[in-house]
């Protein structure tokens, strides 16, 4: 198996400099070889597209397994749906693009999200009303303890808002090898988001095709999220906090413009409605950060993005500690003003 001792900054979209040994897994045998040779007590780091990781230089002695298992296989082609199995190392957006081009729906609103297919179940990637949990049939994993390949069903994955088994009890236990998706042949639901609706009105599109929905999402994301190839970032840096209805009502007394999203049970089904508040509500972290005056805020080597306060950017030569410092300042400021503790969205590896 191919291995290198390198600066892994280019392997992550936040581009923080860290020296580490990287092993490239192109198949299951490589994964087995990697774990067979791993010294006892050493915890490896599994890397996909690196678009949701903040890696500390302290990991020096932890080897990195870079997942490069490729392959796209149609498992079953039925009248109403298709089951497609993809290697964990496949590029997510290439998959979305191909699905749209072949009229398969279910993932079009998750266009232009950086990263690999194998990383999407970890944080239950979502955008514009779609979440990967709604299309994932199962996830094939390598169990590090008994070195066996297992299949986790959708239910086994314990998906919820930006969360899954892979961020909790399955952390350091499973390596995701492949993901099987169920995509539908039926016409897609048009995302209900205001920005998407506005885009179709402005462009005189009445019945958008999958490709037109994809184009709309790409355009909208472009205005709100910086291209990680040009501006180093990990997308949303914070989760949108879900708070009690009464707590939200109190804030709304002082801030009539506060956007809020209804959350129904388990905190994972949402309906966008900016004025009505029910049992629990999701408040956009970007709005909270903007209200404490930290949109486009310069922390030195780190800043919040000028068009979207939820995105933290590495201006070029930031360190892990610079990111931590900026994050702590944002959390403290939001807490001081609103009494809400923001949680980070990317995974911290140290
Ligand atoms: N807002 C502000 N100021 C800001 C940023 C946002 O007031 O600086 C307000 C917006 O006006 C809007 C609301 O906050 O009313 C929500 O903003 P937006 O539609 O941009 O979405 P978001 O809640 O910030 C979430 C996901 C994104 C996903 C979009 C679209 C999370 C943590 N983030 O962002 O996912 O693309 O919705 O569905 O749930 C990611 O996970 O990395 C990610 C980019």
Last residue of a domain, one of 184, 201, 228: 184
Tell me the best of 236, 311, 330 to mutate to test the pocket of ligand 1, counting ligand atoms within 8 Å of each CB and taking the most: 236
> d(Cα 248, Cα 243) in Å, to the nearest integer?
7
> d(Cα 217, Cα 107) in Å, to the nearest integer?
11
Whose CA is closest to atom 40 on ligand 1? 236
Inside any domain, residue 234: no
Q: What is the pTM of this model?
A: 0.94
Q: Give the position, in ligand 1's atom list, of the atom nearest the Cα of 123.
A: 41
Inside any domain, residue 80: yes
> d(Cα 76, Cα 85) in Å, to the nearest integer?
10
Residues 176 and 247 in one domain: no
Domain that holds residue 259: 242-282
Residues 98 and 171 in one domain: yes
Inside any domain, residue 261: yes
Whose CA is closest to atom 13 on ligand 1? 284
User: Are the beta carbons of 174 and 166 closer than 8 angstroms?
Assistant: yes
CA-based diameter of the chain, in Å?
Answer: 61
Inside any domain, residue 175: yes
Our CA dihedral for 75, 78, 80, 83, rounded to 10 degrees, sits at 0
- The residues assigned a catalytic role are 162, 236, 345
Inside any domain, residue 170: yes
Tell me the best of 160, 238, 284 to mutate to test the pocket of ligand 1, counting ligand atoms within 8 Å of each CB and taking the most: 284
Helix crossing, 210-224 with 92-101: angle to 10°? 150
Residue 284 Cα to ligand 1 middle (Å): 6
Whose CA is closest to atom 9 on ligand 1? 287
Least confident of 194-208, 252-266, 297-311: 252-266
Residues 180 and 274 in one domain: no
Residue 345 Cα to ligand 1 middle (Å): 12
Residues 171 and 249 in one domain: no
| 117-137 pLDDT per residue, tens | 999 999 999 999 999 999 999
Ligand 1: residues within 6 Å at CB?
Answer: 127-128, 224-225, 235-236, 239-240, 259, 284, 286-287, 290, 295, 308-310, 345
| 212-225 pLDDT per residue, tens | 999 999 999 999 99
CATH number at residue 163: 3.30.465.10
Count of the separate structural domains present in the chain: 2
Tell me the best of 310, 330, 333, 338 to mutate to test the pocket of ligand 1, counting ligand atoms within 8 Å of each CB and taking the most: 310
> d(Cα 167, Cα 121) in Å, to the nearest integer?
10
Residues 178 and 259 in one domain: no
Please, what is the average pLDDT of the chain? 94
Residue 312 pLDDT > 90: yes
Inside any domain, residue 88: yes
Rounded to 5°, angle at Cα 116 from 141 and 145: 25
Last residue of a domain, one of 135, 155, 184: 184
The model's confidence at residue 277, banded by pLDDT at 50, 70 and 90, is very low
Ramachandran category for residue 171: left, alpha or beta (phi over 0 → left; psi -120 to 50 → alpha): beta
Inside any domain, residue 19: no
Inside any domain, residue 316: no
Burial 247-286 (b: 16+ CB within 10 A, else e): bbeebbeeeeebbbbbbeeeebebeeeeeebeebbbbbbb
Residues 6+ apart with CB under 8 A from 219: 199
Q: Give the position, in ligand 1's atom list, of the atom nearest the Cα of 127.
A: 38
Alpha helices in 79-209 (DSSP H): 92-101, 194-202
Last residue of a domain, one of 223, 255, 282: 282
């Amino acid at each position: 198996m191919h291995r290198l001792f390198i600066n892994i900054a280019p392997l992550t979209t936040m581009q923080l400099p860290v020296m580490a040994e990287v092993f490239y897994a192109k198949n299951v045998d490589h994964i087995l070889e990697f774990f067979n040779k791993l010294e006892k007590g050493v915890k490896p780091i599994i890397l996909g597209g690196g678009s949701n990781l903040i890696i500390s230089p302290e990991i020096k002695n932890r080897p990195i397994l870079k997942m490069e298992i490729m392959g796209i296989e149609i498992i079953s082609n039925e009248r109403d749906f298709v089951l497609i199995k993809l290697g964990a190392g496949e590029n997510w957006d290439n998959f979305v693009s191909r699905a749209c081009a072949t009229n398969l729906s279910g993932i079009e609103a998750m266009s232009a999200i950086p990263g690999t297919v194998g990383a999407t179940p970890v944080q239950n990637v979502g955008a514009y009303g779609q979440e990967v949990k709604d299309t994932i049939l199962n996830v094939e994993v390598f169990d590090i303890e008994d070195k066996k390949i297992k299949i986790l069903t959708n239910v086994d994955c314990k998906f919820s808002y930006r969360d899954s088994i892979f961020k909790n009890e399955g952390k350091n236990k499973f390596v995701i090898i492949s993901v099987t998706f169920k995509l539908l042949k039926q016409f897609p639901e048009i995302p209900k988001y205001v920005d998407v609706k506005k885009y179709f009105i402005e462009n005189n599109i009445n019945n958008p095709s999958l490709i037109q929905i994809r184009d709309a999402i790409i355009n909208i994301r472009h205005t709100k999220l910086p291209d990680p190839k040009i501006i180093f970032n990990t997308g949303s840096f914070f989760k949108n906090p879900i708070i009690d209805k009464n707590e939200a009502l109190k804030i709304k007394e002082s801030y009539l413009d506060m956007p809020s999203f209804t959350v129904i049970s388990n905190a994972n089904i949402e309906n966008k409605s900016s004025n009505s508040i029910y049992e629990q509500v999701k408040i956009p972290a970007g709005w909270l950060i903007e209200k404490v005056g930290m949109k486009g805020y310069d922390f030195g080597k780190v800043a919040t993005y000028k068009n979207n306060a939820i995105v933290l950017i590495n201006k070029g030569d930031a360190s892990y500690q610079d990111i931590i410092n900026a994050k702590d300042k944002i959390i403290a400021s939001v807490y001081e003003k609103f009494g809400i503790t923001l949680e980070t969205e990317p995974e911290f590896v140290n």
